[in-house]
Amino acid sequence: MTSPDDRIEQRAHALYRQASQQLDPAMAGRLRAARREALQPAPSSHRAARLLLPAGAFAAVALAALMVWQPHRGTTAPARAVPALIAGTGQDDSDLPPDADSADPTLYQNLDFYGWLAANDSSAPERR
């Protein structure tokens, strides 16, 4: 003899099975399609993502390297310009003073002399 609980369990189980079997064809078809889609191999977007990851990392490293390198370029360019500036002080009337680090210290010691020389150098050919 079966207990009331057993009867409920058996009946509920049977109803569940029947309900599952008698699913409407449209939904059964959708479930079949969903299963096939789930079992498809990983879509190409995943493979593309795998390739994009190192490419993105490389791009980030390249960008970082470029940003680190850029300030050096900014500092080296004026450094190269200074000797040219110093060399050209005779001809070019530049507003920028010569770089104190790279210039000869005697330049500053005899600044009055060089000032006089510069002023008289332009008039020298006229005397001849």
Partner 1 sequence: MNSLAVPMTDDVLTEEAGERSVPATLDAFLAQVERRAFRMAELQLGHREDAFDAVQDAMLRLVRHYRDKPAGEWSPLFWGILRRRVVDLQRRRKVRSIVVGWLGGGRDGDGDELPTWEPADPGPGPLDRLHDAQSWRDMADAVRKLPLRQREAFMLRVLEGLDVADTARAMGCSEGSVKTHLSRAMHHLRDQLEEWR
Residues contributing to the site for partner 1 (CB under 8 A): 4-5, 7-9, 11-24, 27-28, 30-32, 34-35, 37-39
Q: Count of CB atoms within 10 A of residue 83's CB?
A: 13
Q: Which is closer to partner 1, CB of 20 or CB of 123?
A: 20
DSSP 42: P
In the complex, the smallest distance separating the C-beta of residue 9 from partner 1, rounded to whole angstroms, is 5
Least Å distance between CB 23 and partner 1?
A: 5
Structure tokens at 110: 């005899």
Q: Which amino acid is it at 67?
A: M
Cβ 50 to partner 1 shortest distance, Å: 15
Nearer to partner 1, 33 or 84 (CB): 33
